[in-house]
């Protein structure tokens, strides 16, 4: 008999808001969720973060390459009683990285929180990855984070927070996609520098580092690479997107007001003892 695993309300997105981001203006880059053929697919990390930020009282700009996905997220944000705006942008384009920030300030009158949740993976193995694939991955996964942060630092309100969504792939060679792993590892260096330069304005920057998460993207990755979920998970399951969202919202909130330039590893212990 399979043991039934209990998921608390926070893990399934049914817990009520606690007013932790009331009055805040949050830009979530990568707020959509990959379309899925499943009848009841799970939510992606960016969408869960946007919805939870709204539930906690923030107005949210949902930025994504996929307009339909961003609009769907915005509808869920509005259902929480918050204001939602949609921006469509390809963060591989440096000009778009600047315009996302400029347009958010125009729409909301400022920014108090920024979440960077974009990432792609191309190539397979060191010898199976081309220079073009490497550069494309780094343009989205690393350069975009640098450029958006650079655009945001001068306009972020004092005591704002930036959250980078990294990956446990940055901690161990497990995916077989070195461009992805390396680009995610580079985010810690960017976050530390952003935290340093933002500190005079009490602007904080931190990382959430999730391991396996049950999202449409994660399920697709598991279908392509069945060994991805073969190892034992200490808590008996993958994380949910809502659990990633709670980590991100905590780092956005004043509950973490003395935490900066750090990584919050969300892996259920897997990278330490599994």
- How far apart are alpha carbons 73 and 36 in whole angstroms? 15
Q: Render each residue's pLDDT in the chain as its tens digit; 274 residues.
A: 446 788 999 999 999 999 999 999 999 999 999 887 778 888 999 999 999 999 999 999 999 999 999 999 999 999 999 999 999 999 999 999 999 999 999 999 999 999 999 999 999 999 999 999 999 999 999 999 999 999 999 999 999 999 999 999 898 887 889 999 999 999 999 999 999 999 999 999 999 999 999 887 777 766 666 665 556 788 888 999 999 999 999 999 999 999 999 999 999 998 877 5
pTM of the full structure: 0.94
The token duo for 78 is: 């509005």
Instruction: Look at residue 115 and give its three-state secondary structure.
Output: strand
Q: State the residue for tokens 């705006």.
A: 85
Kindly tell me the burial class for residue 8, based on how many C-beta atoms sit within 10 Å of its own C-beta (0-12, 13-18, 19 or more): exposed
Q: Are 255 and 197 in contact (CB under 8 A)?
A: no
Residue tagged active-site, from 6, 180, 246, 258: 180
**What residues have CB less than 8 Å from 43, skipping those under 6 apart?**
13, 33, 51, 215, 241, 242
Domains of the chain with bracketed CATH: 18-266 (3.40.50.720)
C-beta pairs of 119-124 under 8 Å, 24+ apart in sequence: 119/30, 119/165, 119/167, 119/180, 119/183, 119/184, 120/180, 121/175, 121/177, 121/179, 121/180, 122/177, 122/179, 122/180, 123/177, 123/178, 123/179, 124/176, 124/177
The token duo for 204 is: 């904080």
| 180 classed as catalytic | yes
């Amino acid at each position: 008999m399979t043991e039934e695993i209990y998921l608390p309300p926070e893990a399934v997105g049914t817990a009520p808001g606690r007013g932790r981001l009331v009055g805040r203006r949050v830009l979530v880059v990568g707020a959509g969720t990959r379309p899925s053929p499943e009848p009841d697919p799970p939510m992606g990390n960016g969408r869960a973060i946007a919805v939870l930020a709204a539930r906690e009282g923030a107005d949210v700009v949902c930025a994504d390459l996929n307009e339909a996905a961003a609009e769907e997220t915005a509808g869920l944000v509005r259902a929480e009683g918050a204001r939602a705006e949609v921006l469509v942008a390809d963060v591989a384009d440096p000009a778009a990285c600047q315009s996302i920030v400029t347009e958010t300030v125009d729409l909301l009158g400022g920014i108090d929180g920024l979440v960077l949740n974009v990432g792609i993976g191309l190539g397979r193995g060191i010898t199976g990855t081309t220079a073009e694939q490497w550069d494309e991955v780094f343009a989205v996964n690393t350069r975009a984070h640098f450029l958006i942060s650079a655009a945001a630092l001068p306009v972020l309100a004092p005591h704002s927070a930036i959250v980078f969504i990294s990956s446990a792939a940055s901690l161990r060679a497990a995916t077989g996609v070195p461009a992805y792993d390396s680009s995610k590892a580079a985010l810690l260096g960017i976050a530390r520098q952003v935290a340093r330069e933002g500190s005079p304005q009490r602007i904080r920057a931190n990382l959430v580092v999730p391991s396996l998460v049950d999202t449409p993207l994660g399920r697709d990755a598991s279908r392509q690479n069945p060994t991805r979920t073969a190892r034992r998970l200490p808590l008996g399951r993958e994380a949910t997107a809502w659990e990633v969202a709670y980590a991100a919202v905590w780092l956005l909130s004043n509950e973490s007001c003395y935490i900066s330039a750090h990584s919050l590893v969300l892996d259920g212990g897997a990278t330490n003892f599994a």
